A = this chain, B = another copy of it.
Amino acid sequence: MSPKPLDYESLNENVKKVAYAVRGELYLRASELQKEGKKIIFTNVGNPHALGQKPLTFPRQVVALCQAPFLLDDPNVGLLFPADAIARAKHYLSMTSGGLGAYSDSRGLPGIRKEVAAFIERRDGYPSDPELIFLTDGASKGVMQILNTIIRNEKDGILVPVPQYPLYSATISLYGGSLVPYYLEEEANWGLDFHNIRQSVAAARSKGITVRAMVIINPGNPTGQCLSEANIRELLKFCFQENLVLLADEVYQQNIYQDERPFISARKILFDMGPPISKEVQIVSFHTVSKGYWGECGQRGGYFEMTNLPPQTVDEIYKVASVSLSPNVPGQIFLGLMVNPPKPGDISYLKFVVESKAVLESLRRRAHIMTDGFNSCRNVVCNFTEGAMYSFPQICLPPKAIEDAKKAGKAPDVFYCLKLLEATGISTVPGSGFGQKEGVFHLRTTILPAEEEMPAIMASFKKFNDEFMEQYEDYRGYSRM
């Protein structure tokens, strides 16, 4: 009998090709172990609240009131909610037609898109048009929609950094395009090397690929670097010369842990450069409420902003967004609150500042604890986490470990990470899930475990790693790379 339409052999081949390591073999094994009662430290996904980060109070008060608008008429509401949260809830409810239970416009509520535009203008010093801002159910959904708009067939190439966040490789597979990898330079603090990038483009073109877009993730995921202004400037020139749309994944723009290289948006640098380039290069930039000091991943709020896209294209993107009706409205309100937080003089201002600073300062300290911890381990080297939420140490695996991994039918870094998981409960993602140079191995952890637990986690890691290295180092002597 012939296979049924949803039997495995009948499925869309692009679906089968999708790989998504962040919730791959390691995550599944960790979930199993957790069911068996083992304590697991999930550092595989940037999911701060799952690791104990408390939500900021003010935005939760506002969204709770929006969900329960009948409370606004209750004489006791002031006992539980401050006046500015009440005022803000009324402000957002007045932007909806029917509260949180009504579909919004498919691009998101116009009032919130105006608040996003004002935020971008304050950030970059250049005006932003709310008509070019679409709200989404988290940034990932926006990235998926834009890639679906770009990719026509398997000859369309998208330049993606290696290591990359696997959303990109997975989505390119799903929509049947070609991933064109370019390597970030670990020795140059995970910066861009345009000599190599040009080689990647040339290699792709020689295979008949039309390279159409370039992805950057700044600050970097999984690599944690902040790109320099000079690097981004060169990138924009490159996109201009090569006729590439730039997909700027800037979701970690609030997560900065050093003062030398603040976040600067690709869009600001583009406009600083002036015409012709500022009028020509197409950029789509992505942002979210899931990261920053908010970490509101479960709410699924995000936006993308389009620069230099013609109105006809914006209309097409609007049309496709309409098919799934509207992004979730509570997530839109979180986004409004993120771009328009309490101001000096507001009742909740001080509390909001104290809470958000505490999150960011603790993340900064954790970035240091983690990097220093990794660098104190045998055969481990790690660039400092300048931004984002990840540490991406290189693990120099002894030849015998690589050999044993092969025998077990595992990639060497998967082998290492599985052993780490079984020994310590630390659930990481192997570097091969993000891509890495041939013969070089990494793992990714988030820097999100609670600060007070961090020293114990790093000690546990060090104990495992150093014993692993001890066990596998060749008696003939294996020297550090």
Give the B-binding residues of A (Cβ under 8 A).
Answer: 2, 4-8, 10-13, 15-16, 18, 20, 22-23, 45, 47-53, 55, 57, 60-61, 63-65, 67-68, 70-71, 74, 76-77, 79-80, 96-104, 106, 137-138, 140-141, 144, 148-152, 166-167, 170-171, 174, 212-213, 243-245, 280, 282, 284, 290, 294-300, 306, 308-310, 312-313, 316, 319-320, 322-331
- Give the residues in chain B near A60, CB-CB below 8 Å: 67-68, 70
On whether the beta carbons of A101 and B296 are closer than 8 Å, the reply is: yes
Known: A60-B67, A101-B55, A330-B328. A16 touches B298 (CB 8 A): no
Residue of B nearest to A109 (CB): B298
In the complex, residue of chain B having the shortest beta-carbon distance to the beta carbon of A147:
B12
Question: Given A244-B5, A245-B4: A170 and B328 within 8 A (CB)?
Answer: no
Instruction: Please tell me if the beta carbons of A18 and B320 are within 8 angstroms of each other in the complex.
Output: yes
A427 to chain B, nearest CB (A): 13
Provide 18 A-B residue pairs closer than 8 Å at the C-beta atoms, listed in order of the A residue: A5-B243, A11-B150, A11-B313, A12-B148, A12-B149, A15-B149, A15-B316, A16-B316, A47-B98, A51-B98, A102-B298, A140-B323, A167-B323, A167-B324, A174-B323, A297-B326, A300-B327, A328-B330
Residue of B nearest to A174 (CB): B320
A252 to chain B, nearest CB (A): 15
Interchain CB contact under 8 A, A104 and B298 = yes
Residues A297 and B243 in contact in the complex (CB < 8 Å), given A320-B15, A328-B330: no
Q: Which of B55, B144, B306 contacts A323 (CB 8 A)?
A: B144
> Across the interface, do B312 and A282 meet the contact criterion of CB distance under 8 Å?
no
By a CB distance below 8 angstroms, the chain B residues around A294 are 101
- Partner of A212 from the list B5, B167, B298, B320 (CB cut-off 8 Å) is B5
Copies of this chain present in the complex amount to: 2
- Alpha-carbon distance A5/B150, docked complex (angstroms): 7
In the bound complex, how far is the Cα of B60 from the Cα of A67, in angstroms?
6
Please state if A300 and B323 are interface contacts (CB–CB under 8 Å): no
Known: A64-B65, A80-B71, A298-B99. A324 touches B50 (CB 8 A): no
Q: Which of A7, A68, A312, A319 has the most CB of B within 10 A?
A: A68
For the complex, give the distance between the alpha carbons of A11 and B53 in Å.
41
Q: How far is the CB of A204 from chain B (nearest CB, A)?
A: 14
Q: CB-CB < 8 A to A13: which residues of B?
A: 152
* A316 close to B20 (CB less than 8 A): no
In the bound complex, residues from chain B placing their C-beta under 8 Å from that of A5 are 150, 212-213, 243-245, 282
For A47, list chain B residues within 8 Å (CB).
98, 102-103
Q: How far is the CB of A7 from chain B (nearest CB, A)?
A: 6
Partner of A324, one of B11, B144, B245, B299: B144
Name the B residues within 8 Å of A15 (CB-CB): 148-149, 316, 320
CB pair B141–A324 under 8 Å, yes or no, is yes
A166 to B99 alpha-carbon distance, docked (Å): 25
Give Cα A319–Cα B17 distance, bound, in whole angstroms. 10
* Contact assessment for B325 and A328 in the assembled complex, using a CB-CB cutoff below 8 Å: no
Q: Using Cβ atoms and an 8 Å threshold, which residues of chain B touch A282?
A: 4-6
Q: Please tell me if the beta carbons of A297 and B64 are within 8 angstroms of each other in the complex.
A: no
Task: Rank and list the top 10 A-B pairs by shortest CB-CB distance, nearest first.
Answer: A49-B98, A298-B329, A64-B68, A49-B101, A300-B328, A50-B98, A50-B102, A49-B102, A23-B322, A8-B312
Q: A47-B98, A319-B20 are in contact. Are A324 and B150 (CB under 8 A)?
A: no
| Residues of chain B within 8 A of A138, CB atoms compared | 324-325
Q: Which residues of B contact A96 (CB under 8 A)?
A: 298
Q: B328 and A18: CB pair below 8 A? A: no
